[in-house]
Amino acid sequence: MQAKEEDVSLGVNKFPERQAIGTAAQSDEKDYKEPPPAPLFEPGELKSWSFYRAGIAEFVATFLFLYITILTVMGVAGSKSKCSSVGIQGIAWAFGGMIFALVYCTAGISGGHINPAVTFGLFLARKLSLTRALFYMVMQCLGAICGAGVVKGFKKNLYMANNGGTNSVSPGYTKGDGLGAEIIGTFVLVYTVFSATDAKRSARDSHVPILAPLPIGFAVFLVHLATIPITGTGINPARSLGAAIIYNRDHAWDDQWIFWVGPFIGAALAAIYHQIVIRAIPFKSRP
């Protein structure tokens, strides 16, 4: 009891994380109530440990995400033949599998975004404040930079010889092709996040929150299978930025804008589609 009182006095639970799973809308009776939108600015969060704990979770998750996935890419690139490595399918599994594991681990702490595009989409849907959204994006980018940096530290020559796992539009495709692939790929991901973690479904079907990381990870896997040949698959601005900064060659920056503009447009479209078309939230009567 004393520990709980101390936690409350420190503001641990004063500003609970606004998770994608919308736990505030769930109850033991499975009654559903539309959660109120997050305020645009919530400066009081800056005094709460839960705010910083969530940011640290996003940093560590994105660090691990880049570490495992870029190492996998380097393993494939450095092998003598595609048959002696996991190949494109293995790379896709590494990205999708890590998202599955990391979303499962961090969903209850930060919401398990691990991607500025996901954070942006949830911010547009008023699932979290601008204060928290910006903090998450900064921590995600820092985590990605550190993750790619550790990979480079293992074997610099191999890393630099294989473009450091950076994203770029492949020969034979236009920049418009790359932008379109990033928009649609991110739409698939963020739409899956909204659908798999919908508060109404969570209240109605108790298994949905437990299964949520699975379809999200599987969506990442499928998008990678489709778009690795086109752009190397970004759909995550932090992932693209972290690899580009650590690799730090001119051609790594040529198409960098595509991997920010595309994912943000795709996330915005997914948020609009889910909130307005699927859930029709603007059309619901309010008391």
28 pLDDT exceeds 60? Answer: no
DSSP one-letter code for 24:
G
Residue 209's nearest CA partner among 112, 114, 275, 133 is 112
pLDDT tens track for 49-84? 999 999 999 999 999 999 999 999 998 887 777 666
Range 108-136 average pLDDT: 95
Q: How far apart are CA 255 and CA 231, in angstroms?
A: 9
Summary mean pLDDT of the chain: 85
- Which of 28-57 are b and which e, b meaning 16 or more Cβ less than 10 Å from the residue's Cβ? eeeebeeeeebeeebeebeebebbeebbeb
| pLDDT confidence bin for 146, thresholds 50/70/90 | very high
| pLDDT confidence bin for 204, thresholds 50/70/90 | low
Q: How far apart are CA 103 and CA 153, in angstroms?
A: 27
- 8 Å CB contact between 223 and 188: yes
CATH for 46-277 is 1.20.1080.10
